[in-house]
Amino acid sequence: MKPKLGFFDFTGCEGCQLEVLNFENELVELLEHVDIVNFREAIAEKGENYEISFIDGAITTESEIPRIQKIRQQAKILVAMGACACLGGVNCLKNFRPMEENLKIVYGECAGYYNTIPARPINAVVPVDYYLPGCPMNRHEFIKLAKALLLGKKFELPNYPVCVECKLAENVCVFEKGGFCLGLVTRAGCNAICVTTGRRCWGCRGLVDDPNTNSEKEILQKYGLTVDDILKQFSLFNGYYPEVSK
Amino acid sequence: MTQLNINVRHVTRIEGHGNIIVNAKDGKIEQITWAIPESPRFFEAMFRGLSYEDVTWIAPRICGICSIAHSTASIQATEAAFGVQLSEQTMLLRKLLYHAETLQSHVLHFYFLAAPDFLGVGSVFPLVNTHKEVVLRALRLKKLANDLADLIGGRKTHPNSCVVGGFAKFPEVSQLKTMQQRLSQAIGDLKETVKLFKGLEIPDFIRETEYIALKDPKEYAFISGSIASTDTGIAAVTDYLNITNEFCVPQSTAKFSKHNRDSYMVGALARFNNNYSQLLPEAQKAAEELGLKALCHNPYMISVAQIVESTHAVEDSLRLIDQLLARELKEEKPDVKVKAGRGIGAVEAPRGILFHDYTYDDNGILIEANCVIPTNQNHNNIQKDMETLVPRIINQPQEEITHMLEMLVRAYDPCISCSTHLLEVKFV
């Protein structure tokens, strides 16, 4: 029996679902090993007999809470895909001001038609078994997890900072160029793609476990920074977490 | 007498959540509603207080499917506010990157989301067994578009190399040459696509409406020009609020729009209807073969217009790479001086005209934002189409009516995630 997969979107841009459709080379092969029974963006059928569920998007309305609880009840394995599902993501920027004010800014005098609650990641509502962080999630990490699940093997995310991957990519350090970068405390796994493309790290993959003990302390010292200074800049994708400045 | 009770909750194979509700009793229609229950996201509120660098970094997150369009509109709004001058090379690269998204999004729509209706299946996945060639061709075209986006924009979903004033990274000459070869080969795949769609039966449904798109005297417009309407002619981009006239309806978190009539259409068919004479030769040929002629008033022909535009995107990409290679690529540093002001960026997202309107303070911190999304502009047109279509087909079985309505919604290729986070409300 092939395992049955369901894909479900909550509040987000659906870019992570799109990344699944972007496996041009692997998609046909993947379909030989699994049955996709629910994937609203791509298929008309709506099967409820899925065993593994992939969730993208954050929870931002009351009605999304029972919906994710139902999915959790059905699925043996629940995977959070992307920054919105894993961390709350950019949606949490709205948490920095009262919900009434957000409604007023966007809907003006019609604000009363609608409602919204502070944005939160999936694991603030139901337990999550695996995380595929990033904005968007990394396609290769998705394939790695899919293979691990199919073969019953262990899957773990790297627990070292983007800085390590950046050095391997032989990038010039963003601090060296006079910029500011969150790669010092952000979980690796993206191959430092944004710094490699000439930008900096915005922390979309979230913090490494225990950022205070990480090996990049000497770089922090060199530029006269502390871990707390860095955390303050984490609000773009990590606004849900109390250690991030609001 | 006809009884209808259609309630399609969350139409499938579209981007985002939309519901169709139709009720009829004793042959009398009581309700026809196109409703958008998508969770609103509040980007206009979230942008406030962010630096221009952060604003343009998260703007693509409005929509994963048209992230290059949002990135470009956001960057161009910021450049307009700061008065940034762009180099010719930047414009060539930006147009090239833009074609990648148009091609990617259109291929995804007509092969993955629309075609299964015509081929009688629920999704593209079972076609792997019955029409493997079709699926492989679709994947080939999609991969080409994604690889082109990766090459110029850093990555397809949420591009990271495009910045205010230019680019942070540049392709190598050899990479452009390889890409050019692959693009030339894609012309063949697009010809096969034309053949496939030529054989499909497109519903014959005509309802006259207004078509709005960007227009540039120099070329088939995607990221430059003024606003054109098939009813009222040309208007300046700075006058966009007089065109879009957004208003709220209680059933939808997305806003609705109207201009000269009850509703108007944006997107591939609206661009075609305004700018068909500027299509490049292969695209013109494709239009002719597919029987697409301006003005076309059949919304089910939107997918056909997308095929024509895909051909144009590939042809124009070949020309743009020629121009880039002829002038030698330079690593240009963006020249940006922050100043207070308001700027509007207008681009043609795959689904139609998109506006980002930003006001910044002296330090480049955003004070106010307004984004008008193409799908919002189409919602009202979808509603009016349904109101015209249902009475014409009311004697058909309920499943058939439902299917026709779902196909209609899919034809518009609605992108609902990005349509639910509008701006200051305008009442009509």
Query: By three-state DSSP, how is residue B20 classified?
Result: strand
Query: CB-CB: which of A18, A42, A194 is closest to B123?
Result: A42
Q: CA B39, CA A64: separation in Å to the nearest integer?
A: 9
**CA-based nearest residue in chain B for residue A137:** B157
Q: Mark yes or no for CB contact B128/A46 under 8 Å.
A: no
What is the model's pLDDT at position B424?
A: 24
Q: How far is A187 from chain B (nearest CA, A)?
A: 18
What residues of chain B, 30 to 69, have a C-beta less than 8 Å from chain A?
A: 39-42, 44-46, 48, 50, 54, 57-58, 60-65, 67
The answer to whether the complex's ipTM is over 0.90 is yes
Tell me the residues of chain B between 70 and 109 that have a Cβ less than 8 Å away from chain A: 108
Q: Alpha-carbon distance B53 to B31, whole Å?
A: 46
Residues of B in contact with A61 (CB under 8 A): 39
Length of chain B: 428
User: Hey, what amino acid is at B128?
Assistant: V
- Which of B41, B143, B418 lies closest to A11 in CB terms? B41
CB contact under 8 A, A94 and B45: yes
Chain B residues in contact with A89 by the CB 8 A cut-off are 61
Min Cα distance B115 → chain A (Å) is: 11
Residue of A44, A46, A93 lying closest to B46 (CB–CB): A93
A–B interface: beta-carbon pairs under 8 A:
166
Report how far residue A49's alpha carbon sits from residue B408's, in angstroms, rounded to the nearest whole number. Answer: 29
Enumerate the residues of chain A whose CB falls inside 8 A of the CB of residue B12: 40-41, 43-46
Q: For residue A201, what is the nearest residue in chain B, using CA coordinates?
A: B160
**Which positions in chain B touch A113 (Cβ < 8 Å)?**
248, 250
| Residue ranges of domains in chain B, CATH in brackets | 43-419 (1.10.645.10)
Which one of B12, B140, B157 has the shortest CB-CB distance to A43?
B12
Q: Answer whether A135 sits within 8 Å of B61, measured CB to CB.
A: yes
Domains of chain A with CATH codes: 4-151 (3.40.50.700), 162-236 (no CATH)
Structure-token pair, residue B271? 């661009």
Residue among B13, B38, B39 with most chain A CBs within 10 A, to mutate: B39
User: What is the rounded CA–CA span in Å between residue B190 and residue B196?
Assistant: 10
Among B13, B45, B169, whose Cβ lies nearest the Cβ of A44?
B13
Instruction: Locate the DSSP E strands across B240-302.
Output: 264-265
**B428 interfaces chain A, CB cutoff of 8 Å:** no
The two beta strands, A52-56 and A77-81, are parallel
Q: Calculate how close chain B gets to A19, using CA atoms only, in Å.
A: 8
- DSSP H or E stretch at residue B190: helix B173-198
Rounded-to-10 torsion of CA B282, B288, B290, B296: 120
pLDDT at B421: 34
Residues of chain A falling short of pLDDT 70? 41-45, 213-215, 245-246
CB within 8 Å of A15: residues ≥ 6 apart:
A82, A135, A136, B61, B63, B64, B65, B67, B157, B158
Residue B12 pLDDT: 65
Residue B39 to residue A60, Cβ atoms within 8 A: yes
Is residue B268 within 8 Å of B283, Cβ to Cβ? no
Does the CB of B421 have a partner CB in chain A at under 8 Å?
Answer: yes
Tell me how far apart the alpha carbons of residues B216 and A75 are, in angstroms, rounded to a whole number: 52
Per-10-residue mean pLDDT for chain B, 428 residues long?
Answer: 73 70 85 77 92 96 94 98 97 98 93 81 77 88 96 95 97 97 97 92 94 98 98 96 84 78 95 98 98 97 96 98 94 96 98 97 96 89 94 90 90 64 26
